[in-house]
């Protein structure tokens, strides 16, 4: 068995319309000279291209998928939101979500993006592949049931999990979100449920600024099944390793999932314009190695990564390559040229000790240490 990689060029053709970073053009916002929207296809295309030129592509089982169905979407999103989204996609441009512009044909692109994740989930559960990576775009982890947020239009992972549950019945799934931003959409969808453990490790008070607090642990049947690990800005490589070892891994073992899904954002990288976490490609390699080991220990290796954020064209390809190398169990001769950049100097020991003490305190509070 090998690693399956889900990709469709049509997802990279999706456009948000003219914008400068996240600001729609108009009024005093001058049109850009070129492709400048924050969530543009180049980081994903450069990642895919590096997989190809490194030779790793030849070892992947590359697959496509059909878009998710309307029934799939309506298991997660409200009918009012879906109707508005479809109408906007058919007719033109609007901004009904907090920051997510919906433009012509965006419903089709988002449905295809979710479709890549849906097929990855189905194929991993079937046991015919070792694990999977879905290069989904637009991303999904901020999308709430009733609105798009944070450049996310449909909740790719949740839609895919609910489609799998409709077919297979109850599944215990752990969703591990290592994007630099809090996975608020996934949290909202599963906040009252005990069949999905949601773990989000993120830069504290980044986006959304009022979400992702450690004290938010779920409600009702879901109490204790939502874990937020807000890290101090500038935490760097060691903070991620400490959070994984002291909170993520023990929580996964206690939950004993049937499947692990990673909301795989790379915007914690040290050159990203949307984060300040100083992670490196080695950070993502270590997180992937640890998560893969947990999957093999707990759920027969059933693991998939669904692409989320990451906005540095320099670093995202090397971070993504490190994750896919890990999934495949192969190393290429690619050397990350950014790894030793002086801009990515890690924080001093007193900072690391402070962050570690905060992580240890949270682990004890969660009954994990």
What lies within 8 Å, CB to CB, of 189 at 6+ separation is 76, 144, 145, 155, 158
- Which is more confident, 342 or 142? 142
pLDDT of residue 339: 80
Of 160, 145, 180, 214, the C-alpha closest to 360 is 214
The two tokens of residue 298 are: 């707990």
Q: Which residues are catalytic?
A: 142
Residue 14 pLDDT > 70, yes or no? yes
Q: What mean pLDDT do residues 278-303 have?
A: 97
Q: How far apart are CA 195 and CA 257, in angstroms?
A: 9
In tens, the pLDDT along 207-263 reads 999 999 999 999 999 999 999 999 999 999 999 999 999 999 999 999 999 999 999
Q: What integer is the mean pLDDT of 274-296?
A: 97
More confident residue, 28 or 334: 334
């Amino acid at each position: 068995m090998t690693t399956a990689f889900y990709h469709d060029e049509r997802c990279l053709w999706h456009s948000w319309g003219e914008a400068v970073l996240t600001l729609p053009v108009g009024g005093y916002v001058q049109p850009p000279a070129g492709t400048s929207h924050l969530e543009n296809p180049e980081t994903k295309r450069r990642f895919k291209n590096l997989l190809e030129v490194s030779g790793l592509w030849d070892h992947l089982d590359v697959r496509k998928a059909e878009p998710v169905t309307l029934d799939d979407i309506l298991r997660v999103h409200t009918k009012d939101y879906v109707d508005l989204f479809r109408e906007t996609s058919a007719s033109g441009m609007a901004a009904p979500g907090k920051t997510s512009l919906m433009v012509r044909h965006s419903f089709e692109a988002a449905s295809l993006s979710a479709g890549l994740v849906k097929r990855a989930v189905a194929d991993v559960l079937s046991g015919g592949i070792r694990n999977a990576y879905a290069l989904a775009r637009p991303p999904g982890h901020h999308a709430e049931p009733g609105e798009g947020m944070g450049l996310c239009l449909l909740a790719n992972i949740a839609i895919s999990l609910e489609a799998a549950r409709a077919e297979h019945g109850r599944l215990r799934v752990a969703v591990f979100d290592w994007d630099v931003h809090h996975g608020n959409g996934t949290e909202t969808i599963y906040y009252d449920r005990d069949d999905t453990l949601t773990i989000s490790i993120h830069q504290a008070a980044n986006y959304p600024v009022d979400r992702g607090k450690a004290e938010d642990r779920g409600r009702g049947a879901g109490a204790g099944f939502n874990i937020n690990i807000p890290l101090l800005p500038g935490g760097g490589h060691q903070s991620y390793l400490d959070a994984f070892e002291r909170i993520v891994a023990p929580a996964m073992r206690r939950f004993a999932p049937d499947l692990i899904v990673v909301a795989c954002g790379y915007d914690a990288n040290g050159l990203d314009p949307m984060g300040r976490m100083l992670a490196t490609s080695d950070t993502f390699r270590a997180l992937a190695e640890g998560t893969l080991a947990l999957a093999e220990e707990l759920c027969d290796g059933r693991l998939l990564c669904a692409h989320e954020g990451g906005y540095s064209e320099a670093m995202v390809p090397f971070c993504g390559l490190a994750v896919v190398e890990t999934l495949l169990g192969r190393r290429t001769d690619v050397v990350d040229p950014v790894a030793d950049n002086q801009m990515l100097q890690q924080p001093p020991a007193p900072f690391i000790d402070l962050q570690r003490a905060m992580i240890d305190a949270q682990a004890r509070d969660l009954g994990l240490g």
